[in-house]
Amino acid sequence: MLPVDFLLTPACPSNCFSMQALLTDFRFFRVSCERIRAKKSALRRLMTDGPIETSPETSIRRFEPVAGVVHTLFLLLILAAVAVVGYFSIHRQSAARVPNRLLFYSTTIAWEWILVAYIYWGLRRRGKSIRNIAGKSWTSASAFFLDIAIAFGFWIAAILVLSIVARLVHATGMAEAARRLAPQSLFESILWIALSVTAGICEETIFRGYLQRQFVAWTRSAPIGVLLSAVLFGAGHVYQGGKATVVIGVYGLMFGILAEVRQNLRPGMMTHAWHDALTGLIVRFLPK
C-alpha cells in the first residue's frame, strides 16, 4: 500500500519533461510537413499553369532570331546545293524526248517537307514552333475569308507586276520552261497539284517564315531581310533560267512584303499554291 502523498506526487519529473519535449517536437514536425506540402503544391501549380519562357507558344520578339546561326548556315548550304543539282538535272532532262516529270514531282515534294522538318527541329531547339513563324491559326470565319480576299487581290497584282518585269528583262523562255515542267496526263496533273500545295506551304515557311525572320533579326532591318529572302528565293529557281530567276525573285520580293505587312504566311501560302497549280494546268491544255 503506497502512501497517498506518493500517488499525488509525480514519480519522475524528468520523464514528464521528456514527454512534453516529445510532443513539442512532434507538433513542429507536423507544421514543417504541412509547409513543405504547401510549397510543393504551389510549385506544381506554377509549373502547370504559369507562363514558361520555352513554351512553343511564346511569341517571337522583334529582331529575335528563331534558330541558331549554324542551323541557318547549314540550311543555306543545302539550298545552294539543291539549286545547282536542280539546274543540271532539269537541263539534262530537257534534252531527253520524254522528261521524267513524275520523278521530279515526287522527289521535290519529299525534299521540301524534309527541309521543313529540319526547320522545325531548329525551332524546337529554341523553344519555338512552326506557328511562331507562320502566324496563329484562324479564330473566326471572317478572318479566314479576309485572308482569301487578300490572297486573291495579291495574286492579281502579282500577275500584273510579273508580266511587266518579264517584258522588261525579255524573259521569253519562261513559257518553254513551264511547258517542260507542266503535267501531261491525269496522274501527273494530280501529282502536280500536290506539288503546288507543297510549294505553297513549304517554300513560304522556308523563305518567308524562317529565312526572312532570320535575316531581319541579323540585320535589324525589315527591308534588308525581305530583300535577302527574295534573292535566295529567285536563286533557288535558277533551274528555270537566268531571266526567269529575276522574275521569280521579284515574285519572292512581293511575297516577302506581304508576309512582313500581315505578320503571317497564310495569304502567301494560298496565292503560291493556286498560282503554281493553275499555271501548270493551263499550260497543259495550251496548244503546242
pLDDT in tens, 84-127: 887 777 666 555 555 688 998 999 999 999 999 999 999 999 88
Cα torsion 244, 247, 253, 259: sign: negative
Cα distance from N-terminal residue to C-terminal residue, the chain:
131
**pLDDT tens string 140-152:** 999 999 999 999 9
- Is this model's pTM higher than 0.85 or not? no
In whole angstroms, give the CA distance from residue 254 to residue 100: 32
- For 77, other C-beta atoms within 10 Å of its C-beta total 10
More confident residue, 112 or 12: 112
Residue 8 clears pLDDT 60, i.e. is over it: no
Q: What pLDDT score was predicted for residue 150?
A: 96
- HSE, CB side, 13 Å, CA atoms: give it for residue 254: 24
Q: What pLDDT score was predicted for residue 4?
A: 40
Q: What pLDDT score was predicted for residue 25?
A: 53
Cβ-contact 270, 148 below 8 angstroms: yes
Residue 36 clears pLDDT 80, i.e. is over it: no
Place of cell 543540271: 88
Q: What pLDDT score was predicted for residue 284?
A: 79
Residue 173 clears pLDDT 80, i.e. is over it: no
∠ CA 226-80-273, rounded to 5°: 55
Residue 241 clears pLDDT 90, i.e. is over it: no
More confident residue, 227 or 2: 227
Mean pLDDT of 24-33: 56
